[in-house]
Amino acid sequence: MQISAPGPKARLADVAAQAGVSEATVSRVLNGKPGVGPDTRRAVLTALDVLGYERPSQLRTKSAGLVGLVVPELENPIFPAFAQAVESLLSQRGYTSVLCTQTPGGVTEDEYVDMLRARGVSGIIFISGLHADSSVDHSRYRRLVDQGLPIVMVNGFSDAFPAPFVSTDDAGAMSLAVTHLAALGHRRIGLAIGPTRYVVAQRKVDGFVTAMRDKVGVRDAEAEGFVARSMFTVEGGHAAAVRLLEDAGVTAVVCGSDLIALGVVRAVRARGGQVPDTVSVVGFDDSPLISYTDPPLTTVRQPVAAMSQAAVRALADEIAGDAYPKGEYLFAPELIVRGSTSAAPR
């Protein structure tokens, strides 16, 4: 973020085109007239910022401070969904968010934290950061806490440092998925999951094994044989599905993410099968646009809005000096049934 000289006077046509509204709407916003919805007003102001125009003085709001928002990537659509929700909620409280997203070989999380601290951020929200990786040293977060920087962690838990943790109930998600498939008559149910060094992945495996025992009557050791570990990507889902189909003969696959589920669908079709006639597939996240896949994906929805509200509230309380209770807060997921699941084949 840098300070620049006052920008040029805004051209209504340019701003209208950028915001996707009429010039009359832009004029109403710039002149502070009523009759414009908050989302439209925000779009116009964002267009001003993007085009480098200076906002009219009456529309400038005093910032409550900068807040860092660290996400692992933006290719998985669940992360932009979280980022958008958190940024909007921070803005409503007067905070300006600084989005930090990582790319392979690019800036690391620790480097982003150093940059954010140099800019004097009031706090940081980490979404599926290194705190979710059980193989790394979490003392980096302990140091931030000891230095008095408010932090909040989303999806992923560690008992190595005190902070508010906001997570989806991964075990509960697996129970929802397995229960749904068992009710459809499936007994050979697989789990396609990412590396289990990640807390969310290991919790899903534990929840899956428990659900297979309770809902299907499969012993724990046998249920472990229905787990294929790969990567949280479309390619990872394809590779996991091949192993599950060839080695375990599954008729249904529960997936650790919607991207994995898309890879499973691709693998089933590559083998001449169909979803859900040959194999039923359940995703996880309910990412934007996932309902428009072919077939529309049955998935377990993360409560992004509720989790984002909790994370922002916790950080705002920490920044204000009102210590938010430390520990983990689990949010219940929701099964969304669409077209990728059906009765088990005879």
Same domain? For 308 and 186 the reply is no
Same domain? For 203 and 314 the reply is no
Q: pLDDT tier at 6 (50, 70, 90 boundaries)?
A: very low
DSSP code of residue 172: H
User: Quick one: pLDDT at residue 46?
Assistant: 81
Same domain? For 180 and 251 the reply is yes
% of the chain at pLDDT higher than 70: 95
- How far is it between the farthest Cα atoms of the chain? 71
Rg from Cα positions in the chain: 23
User: Quick one: pLDDT at residue 58?
Assistant: 66
Identify whether 2 is part of a domain.
no
CB 302 within 8 A of CB 78: yes
Q: Give the C-alpha separation, 73 to 102, whole Å.
A: 5
Q: pLDDT tier at 65 (50, 70, 90 boundaries)?
A: confident
Identify whether 253 is part of a domain.
yes
Residue 328: Cβ-neighbour burial (10 angstroms; 0-12, 13-18, 19+): middle
Identify whether 344 is part of a domain.
no
Same domain? For 182 and 157 the reply is no
Higher pLDDT, 324 or 238: 238
Identify whether 340 is part of a domain.
no
Same domain? For 125 and 228 the reply is no
Same domain? For 216 and 231 the reply is yes
Same domain? For 163 and 220 the reply is no
pLDDT reading at 130 higher than 50:
yes
Same domain? For 190 and 94 the reply is no
Structure token digits, residue 178: 């397995």
pLDDT (tens digit, 9 = 90+) per residue, 72-98? 998 899 999 999 999 999 998 989 899
Identify whether 238 is part of a domain.
yes
Nearest to 307 by CA among 74, 149, 86, 96: 86
CB 177 within 8 A of CB 209: no
Same domain? For 150 and 235 the reply is no
Beta-carbon contacts of residue 148 (< 8 Å; ≥ 6 apart): none
CB 279 within 8 A of CB 224: no
Identify whether 7 is part of a domain.
no
Identify whether 342 is part of a domain.
no
pLDDT (tens digit, 9 = 90+) per residue, 179-205? 999 999 999 999 999 999 999 999 999
β-pair partners for 104: none
Same domain? For 286 and 315 the reply is no
| 0.85 surpassed by pTM | no
Q: What is the CATH number of the domain that holds 131?
A: 3.40.50.2300
Cis peptide preceding 333, ω within 30 of 0: no
Domain count within the chain: 3
Same domain? For 174 and 296 the reply is yes
Identify whether 318 is part of a domain.
yes
Same domain? For 74 and 151 the reply is yes
Structure token digits, residue 197: 């060094």
* Lookup result for tokens 């340019």: 14
User: Quick one: pLDDT at residue 55?
Assistant: 72
Q: Which domain holds residue 24?
A: 12-53
Nearest to 228 by CA among 280, 192, 275: 192
Cis peptide preceding 345, ω within 30 of 0: no
